[in-house]
Structures are given as structure tokens and as C-alpha cells.
């Protein structure tokens, strides 16, 4: 299959997924969204699961580009910009519908090795980028020298994942979570927190 065809099918998968959710989604829905026959999708992907393994790979490439692409003139700015990227309001791009579908896919992971392997890669790229930024901040003295980059990064990945889950499960604004997590970063990572600062 040429790249254009692949991208076209995977873009259609994204739209169909947001519309139907993962469980209810059929290859027929994806075909309709791509304006193709169901047979032509099956020609390239022999099952919905295979298509989704490829789809997760496609999302991973986009996610990696977004995560590695964040910038700022200091590590603190980079961290802010990264938190902005992963904790955008779910009512805009990528949308609560998409986050809901991803949560459905996460709930499939125990039954599907390929999904689990793919999801672990998303986890890893976010962890690596956070660790890198935090280590740079410790290096420049912007972050407290007692901060252990790997420990803080691991904790932030967990909190960010929790923010996504709670946003879907309880419909609370992701902005509130961003505020809480940013506050953690500012209070516990930055050097010279004034004594009167709230934790």
C-alpha cells in the first residue's frame, strides 16, 4: 500500500473512532469514513485489531513528534509547554471522544499483547522527555538539586495518566488537572521556593 492510502485509512480510523468509540467501531464504519469499500480495507488489514495495531503506531509517531517538539528558552518553560501539550482541554483537539476511545483501548490491553506493547511506548516517550527536561533543569540550577529526574518524571507520567482517566470518567475539565500538576511542578521541583509558598 502506498503511504497516501495508509494515511488516508488511518485518518479515517481516527475520525470513525472519535465518532463510534472502540467497542462499537466496525471496519464498515472506517470504510464509510474513508469513502472506500469494506473489502478494500480488509485487503490491507485482515482484522480490526491489526488495523488498530497499525493505527496505534501512526498515533505514536504523531505523539512522539509533538512530545519531542515542545520547546522553551529554559527547562521550566519546556516543562510548562509539555504540560500544555499533554493536558489540553479535552473539548478541543484531541477531544474527549478521542481520549475516551484511548481509555477503551487501554482496557483492552490485558487481552491484547500488541496493544499493550504499543501503549507502553507512549508511556516511555513521555517519561523520557520529562526526565530529559527535569535533568536539564537540575543541571542549570533552575530545578532543585535534590530532585531525582527519573523519580519526578515517573510520578508526573502517573499523574498525567490519572488526569486523562478522571477527565473521561468524571467529565471534569482537564484545565483543573493541569493547574494541579503545574502547581506540583512549581512547588516541588523549582529551586528557592519561598517559605510562604503553598504546597
Residue nearer to a copy of itself on the CB measure, 12 or 153: 153
User: Can you list the positions of beta strands (E) in the chain?
Assistant: none
CB 101 within 8 A of CB 17: yes
Residue nearer to a copy of itself on the CB measure, 71 or 196: 196
- Give me the residues that bind a copy of itself (CB under 8 A), please: 21-23, 96-97, 100-101, 103-104, 106-107, 109-111, 116, 119-120, 123, 144, 146-148, 151-152, 154-155, 157-166, 168-171, 177, 180-181, 183-184, 187-189, 195-199
CB of 151 to a copy of itself, least distance (A): 7
- Across-strand partners of 143? 190
Residue nearer to a copy of itself on the CB measure, 70 or 168: 168
Distance (Å, whole) CA 105 – CA 109: 7
CB of 37 to a copy of itself, least distance (A): 27
Secondary structure, 3-state, 118-137: HHHHHHHHHHHHHHHHHHHH
CB 71 within 8 A of CB 173: no
Residue nearer to a copy of itself on the CB measure, 1 or 120: 120
CB of 140 to a copy of itself, least distance (A): 17
End-to-end CA, the chain:
54
For every residue of 98-113, DSSP letters joined together read: HHHHHHHHHHHGGG-H
CB of 95 to a copy of itself, least distance (A): 11
Residue nearer to a copy of itself on the CB measure, 85 or 95: 95
CB of 87 to a copy of itself, least distance (A): 11
CB 75 within 8 A of CB 136: yes
Distance (Å, whole) CA 195 – CA 199: 10
Amino acid at each position: 500500500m502506498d503511504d497516501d492510502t495508509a494515511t488516508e485509512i488511518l485518518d479515517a480510523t481516527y475520525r470513525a473512532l472519535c465518532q463510534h468509540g472502540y467497542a462499537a467501531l466496525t471496519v464498515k464504519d472506517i470504510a464509510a469514513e474513508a469513502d472506500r469499500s469494506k473489502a478494500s480495507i480488509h485487503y490491507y488489514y485482515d482484522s480490526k485489531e491489526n488495523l488498530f495495531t497499525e493505527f496505534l503506531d501512526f498515533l505514536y509517531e504523531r505523539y512522539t513528534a509533538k512530545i519531542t517538539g515542545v520547546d522553551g528558552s529554559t527547562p521550566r518553560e519546556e516543562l510548562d509547554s509539555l504540560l500544555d501539550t499533554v493536558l489540553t482541554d479535552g473539548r478541543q483537539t484531541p477531544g474527549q471522544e478521542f481520549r475516551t476511545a484511548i481509555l477503551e483501548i487501554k482496557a483492552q490491553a490485558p487481552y491484547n499483547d500488541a496493544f499493550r506493547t504499543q501503549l507502553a511506548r507512549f508511556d516511555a516517550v513521555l517519561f523520557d522527555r520529562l526526565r530529559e527536561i527535569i535533568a536539564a533543569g537540575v543541571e542549570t540550577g533552575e530545578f532543585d538539586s535534590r530532585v531525582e529526574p527519573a523519580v519526578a518524571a515517573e510520578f508526573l507520567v502517573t499523574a498525567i495518566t490519572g488526569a486523562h482517566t478522571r477527565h473521561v470518567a468524571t467529565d471534569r475539565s482537564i484545565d483543573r488537572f493541569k493547574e494541579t500538576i503545574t502547581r506540583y511542578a512549581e512547588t516541588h521541583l523549582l529551586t528557592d521556593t519561598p517559605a510562604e509558598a503553598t504546597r
